[in-house]
């Protein structure tokens, strides 16, 4: 644990007395709040119900999730410590360096507001640069966090493990964050393919309406056909296949066409 200055010891003792926590627990929380840039904290201490996360604006998760009295005390402590870290720069004998030793992330990102490890993956969050660095087996990926203010890192449920993150928008989908660097090399986004224009079709030619069929001419050819038909009807009459009435009616009908 980092060593507090005399000013820091006095501030911690006063705050611990007001909130009912030990000076050791308050010192752990002070370090966590300062590591989170005064806007968030990841902590672990028995007096806080074990592991937990706090984010300015009202987000607080404790291991003892149904202990509402403890949640109110922890939230009040974090808010006061956030104000203290923002107004006092002489709380420690030496400037604290967060991130656990040598930096594994790109040096240009500076110091993270939060860093740690879950399962076999390490993470570091840089809110000022809007970057999130993840190290999985030595393969370092850097993501653009867009407008997310990441307020918590936890172990992802399920067999796959990994890291689950949350922000003011809810759970953070890592697949939706743009990758800006991998293995120390910038990642150039692949432009979306240009839309394929729709094929141009020639206008369909207007089809002229069909002309009505021409009327059958009433010339001599038609008259000869009618006379031939009457002769055939006469043959049927002689053979007894038509009566006189039927022959007369059909003959009158045919003659009317001439």
pLDDT of 60-76, one tens digit each? Answer: 889 888 899 999 999 99
Q: Is residue 182 part of a domain?
A: yes
Spell out a b/e string for 205-240, using b for 16 or more CB atoms within 10 Å of the CB, else e: eeeeeeeeeeeeeeeeeeeeebeeeeeebeeebeee
Convert the pLDDT of each residue in 211-235 to its tens digit: 554 444 444 556 778 888 888 888 8
Q: What's the structural domain count of the chain? A: 3
Higher pLDDT, 94 or 248: 248
Q: Is residue 115 part of a domain?
A: yes
User: Are 114 and 65 within one domain?
Assistant: no
DSSP code for 126: E
Residues 6+ apart with CB under 8 A from 183: 139, 140
User: Are 54 and 123 within one domain?
Assistant: no
Q: Is residue 201 part of a domain?
A: no
Spell out a b/e string for 13-33, using b for 16 or more CB atoms within 10 Å of the CB, else e: eebbeebebebebbbbbbbbb
Convert the pLDDT of each residue in 138-181 to its tens digit: 889 999 999 888 766 766 655 455 677 888 888 888 889 999 99
- Supply the pLDDT for residue 253: 85
Res. 256: pLDDT tops 70? yes
User: Are 134 and 80 within one domain?
Assistant: no
Range of the domain at 174: 107-186
Bridging pattern class, strands 59-62 and 121-126? unpaired
Residue 111: pLDDT band with limits 50, 70, 90? confident
User: Are 78 and 113 within one domain?
Assistant: no
- Cα–Cα nearest to 143, from 154, 134, 152, 156: 134
Q: Which of 52, 87, 122 delimits the end of a domain?
A: 87
């Amino acid at each position: 644990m980092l060593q507090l200055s005399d000013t820091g010891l006095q501030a911690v003792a006063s705050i611990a007395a007001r909130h009912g926590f030990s000076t050791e627990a308050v010192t752990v929380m002070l370090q966590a709040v300062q590591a989170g840039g005064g806007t968030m904290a990841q902590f672990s201490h028995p007096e806080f119900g074990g592991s937990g996360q706090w984010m300015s604006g009202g987000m607080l998760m404790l291991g003892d999730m149904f202990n509402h009295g403890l949640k109110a005390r922890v939230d009040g402590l974090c808010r006061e410590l956030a104000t203290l870290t923002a107004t006092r720069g002489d709380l420690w004998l030496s400037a604290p360096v967060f991130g656990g030793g040598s930096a594994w992330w790109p040096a240009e990102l500076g110091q993270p507001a939060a860093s740690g490890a879950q399962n076999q993956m390490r993470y570091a969050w840089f809110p000022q640069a809007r970057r999130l660095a993840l190290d999985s087996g030595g393969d370092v990926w850097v993501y653009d966090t867009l407008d997310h203010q990441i307020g918590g890192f936890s172990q992802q449920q399920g067999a796959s493990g990994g890291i689950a993150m949350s922000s003011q928008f809810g759970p953070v989908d890592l697949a939706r964050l743009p990758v800006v660097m991998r293995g120390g090399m910038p990642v150039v986004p692949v432009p979306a393919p240009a839309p394929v224009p729709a094929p141009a079709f020639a206008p369909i030619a207007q089809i002229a309406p069909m002309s009505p069929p021409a009327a059958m001419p009433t010339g001599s050819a038609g008259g000869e056909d009618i006379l031939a038909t009457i002769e055939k009807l006469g043959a049927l009459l002689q053979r007894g296949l038509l009566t006189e009435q039927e022959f007369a009616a059909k003959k009158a009908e045919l003659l009317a066409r001439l």
